[in-house]
Amino acid sequence: MKIVTFEQIKKSLQRVKGYTSSKISELTNATVAAIEEIENKKADKPQYFYITISTNGWQSDSNIYPKYYDIVLQQATEDNRADIIILSQSMKVAVNCGFCAISETFSGKVRVRAMKQPISEITTEIILY
């Protein structure tokens, strides 16, 4: 029967350590490269727009918020989400017309809704995701 010495065990463990270290290093490098590629090509980076919503051009339908306004935004697609932030100078106008907190996105436009057409322009910031 062959007896394994501590020196042999130590050498085996050092080889295993070297092998796993190289594999972990390869995995780490591949992960970093993948993250950099995603960051460089990421399509859903937020885009910011300052938009003034006019008092003209509002339309109606049978939605619970019956008035709507389509903001032309070429970057918008049906897959986007648009957050609408009402700037402070337009808050009173937005409240008075019952401006809806939810928007809809379509190809080339973002739709906002209200209970009634605003009497003054509404200044907004749109964050498109």
The predicted-structure confidence for 96-121, as pLDDT tens digits, reads as follows: 999 999 999 999 999 999 999 999 99
Same domain, 35 and 55: no
94 neighbors 87 (Cβ within 8 angstroms): no
pLDDT tens for each residue of 41-78: 655 689 999 999 999 999 999 999 999 999 999 999 99
23 and 9, same structural domain? yes
Which range marks the domain in which residue 7 is found? 1-42
Q: Total domain count for the chain?
A: 2
The size of the chain, in residues, is 129
Does 120 lie in the same domain as 59?
Answer: yes
Whose tokens are 């509002």? That residue is 58
Per the confidence metrics, is the pTM higher than 0.85? no
